[in-house]
Amino acid sequence: MKVVILDGYNLIYRARYSGPTWQTGPDSITFRFFRSLRPIIEKLEPDKVYFVTEGYPKMRMEKDENYKGTRVREVDEEFSRQKKDIISILSEHFPVEVIRHPHYECDDVVSHLVTNIHSNDETVVVSTDTDFLQLYNTAPNFKLYNPIKKQFTTSPDFDYVSWKALRGDGADNITGFQGVGDKTALALINDAQRLEDFLDSKPSYRDKFNHNKFMIKFHEPLDDLKFMEFSGVASNWSAIKESFEKMEFKSITKEKSWDKFKNTFLMLE
């Protein structure tokens, strides 16, 4: 079986910023999301699709309250409304399983799906988030598809988690080591003795390295699966078309376009 796992918020944010400046209708983000979703499904030809959304990173926040502390929390009611509309349409009417864990991030849930639930299946994660590269190190059944470049991402030939623990991750407010960039981090993890010497060079370095690895590595929600939230996968094409017509998605709902759109997803029923 071939399983496609959609990084939900990543794709919604892509739809938010990918449109032309003239496309500013009240549901333009929703339109761009569903217009871009169909060719992804058409290209990858999955047997099953998950759409994974975000939960609260409980374990990471307990470890470090400054995790992701540099991110600006913007208030955009219109974007929030459309994000809810997209998730609602998918979970209620599409043959797609919408999944979320309240205590874990999307990345952790995706990792669980790849390495546990579908360990014997071919899995493709659709996202521009490079953190998923670490799955190449642990899951032989995994591929990462970049929906912007429209191509699969190359597997790293090094320990991605250790590499990123050394260089840090500014987006998540995980500080790296002074003077260690991409090339130096790669040289260190490719030379075990050099890495050990580096971590022993200052008293705080080994603890910082282990801390960063804990924050970057995907967490396994196995002991907490009873809290996992799933939607059904039954499709309701009349309801979908009615919603799209109300939002005036004419380029999707006209006869030939609608047949093409609908037929792309029929393989999932």
Q: Are residues 191 and 255 in the same domain?
A: no
pLDDT for res 234 = 79
pLDDT for res 85 = 96
Q: Are residues 83 and 126 in the same domain?
A: yes
Q: Are residues 124 and 86 in the same domain?
A: yes
- pTM for this prediction: 0.93
CATH number at residue 143: 3.40.50.1010
pLDDT for res 254 = 93
Exposure of 41 in the CB half-sphere (CA atoms within 13 A): 24
Q: How far apart are the first and last CA of the chain?
A: 14
Q: Are residues 81 and 172 in the same domain?
A: no
Q: Give the Cα separation of 255 and 252 in Å (integer).
A: 8
pLDDT for res 24 = 60
DSSP 171: G
- Ranges of the chain whose pLDDT falls below 70: 20-24, 72, 222-227
pLDDT for res 23 = 59
The answer to whether 78 and 129 are in contact (CB under 8 A) is no
- For residue range 92-116, list pLDDT tens digits in order: 999 999 999 999 999 999 999 999 9
* Total number of domains constituting the chain: 2
Q: Are residues 23 and 75 in the same domain?
A: yes
pLDDT for res 20 = 63
DSSP 157: S
Domain boundary (216, 233, 258) is at 216
Q: Are residues 259 and 146 in the same domain?
A: yes
Q: Are residues 111 and 225 in the same domain?
A: yes
Q: Give the Cα separation of 187 and 195 in Å (integer).
A: 9
Q: Are residues 100 and 232 in the same domain?
A: yes
Q: Which domain holds residue 205?
A: 160-216
Q: Are residues 195 and 117 in the same domain?
A: no
Q: Are residues 194 and 253 in the same domain?
A: no
CATH number at residue 177: 1.10.150.20
In 10 A of CB 189, how many CB atoms? 19
Q: Are residues 211 and 226 in the same domain?
A: no
Cβ burial 90-100 (10 Å sphere, 16+ → b, else e): bbbbbbbbbbb
Q: Are residues 13 and 102 in the same domain?
A: yes
The full DSSP string for 95-132 is S-EEEE-TTS-HHHHHHHIIIIITTTSEEEEE-S-GGG
